[in-house]
Amino acid sequence: MSKNVPIISMEKVMVHYGNGIPVLKNVSLRLNKESFYFLTGASGAGKSTLIRLLYMGMKPASGTLKIFGENVSELSSDEICNFRQRIGVVFQDYNLLDYLTVLENVALPLKVRGETQRAREHQAKELLDWVGLGNCFKAYPEQLSGGQKQRVAIARAVITRPDIILADEPTGNVDEEIADKLMKLFYGMHKMGTCVIVATHCRQFIDKFNFSELAIENNRVFWKNNRNGG
């Protein structure tokens, strides 16, 4: 993939669900590698829908979405699965597997990649220590609070050092000290070359960090500021 090709590009994209009413319409964007974006908008504006679209959990009803330079609508199921291994996602509902321990949940993306058990457990333990869950390796998701689940989901999303991180309200269930620590983790990934997109509704949190902001309003996506040049 050429350095001049945006990691994500959208051209006149429209998204709707079964009722045919647009959730997003006429969206045109170019998002660069090695960039950090806040995605903002009122509750129900379409932030989670855009995250799902970029994770290839759905396809545009019309328009063109390219990820890693490839038209998503033309990819096979196998190709989409391969692309998803390059994307880390923090879902709003965590999306943890209840039958796996915390350590196994975090290490799962490395297992999919074929890493040895020793290697994946070592990396997972390091990350869990960093997010303050070093005493929860053997716990199951049902034994955790919402904030703890959030941190497990974030550790799982970043463990493979993906090319893209999509985080849907990743600090919504943690206190300010933990939120700042998680932002440092995202920032570190960004500095290593990852494109980071964080959906949030917290204005105070956005104003604290000097990153580009994309806003969704009236089914459209527009720049409030763009410090990344996308």
Contacts of 33 (CB under 8 A, 6+ apart): 3, 6, 7, 163, 193, 195
Query: Is 216's pLDDT higher than 80?
Result: yes
Provide the pLDDT confidence category of residue 229 given band limits of 50, 70 and 90. Answer: low
Q: Is the pLDDT of residue 111 over 80?
A: yes
The pLDDT confidence band at residue 1, using thresholds 50, 70 and 90, is low
User: How far apart, in whole angstroms, are the C-alpha atoms of residue 183 and residue 190?
Assistant: 10
**Residue 180 confidence (pLDDT) above 90:** no
Q: Residues 189, 161: contact at Cβ < 8 Å?
A: yes
Return d(Cα 70, Cα 138) in angstroms, integer. 40
Tokens 């196998």, residue located: 78
Q: What integer pLDDT is reported at residue 228 of this predicted model?
A: 76
pLDDT for the residue 189? 92
Question: 133-150 burial, b if ≥16 CB within 10 A, otherwise e?
Answer: beebbeebbeebeebbbb
> How far lies 109's CA from each of 21, 57, 138, 164, in Å?
35, 17, 18, 14
Percent of the chain exceeding pLDDT 70 equals: 97
> How far is CA 91 from each of CA 17, 21, 156, 205, rounded to the nearest angstrom?
19, 24, 11, 19
- pLDDT higher than 60, residue 2: no
Among the ranges given (37-41, 68-72, 107-111, 206-210), the one the predictor scored with the smallest mean pLDDT = 206-210
Average pLDDT, rounded, for the chain: 92
Here the tokens at position 163 are 């090319």
The amino acid present at 51, given as its one-letter code, is I
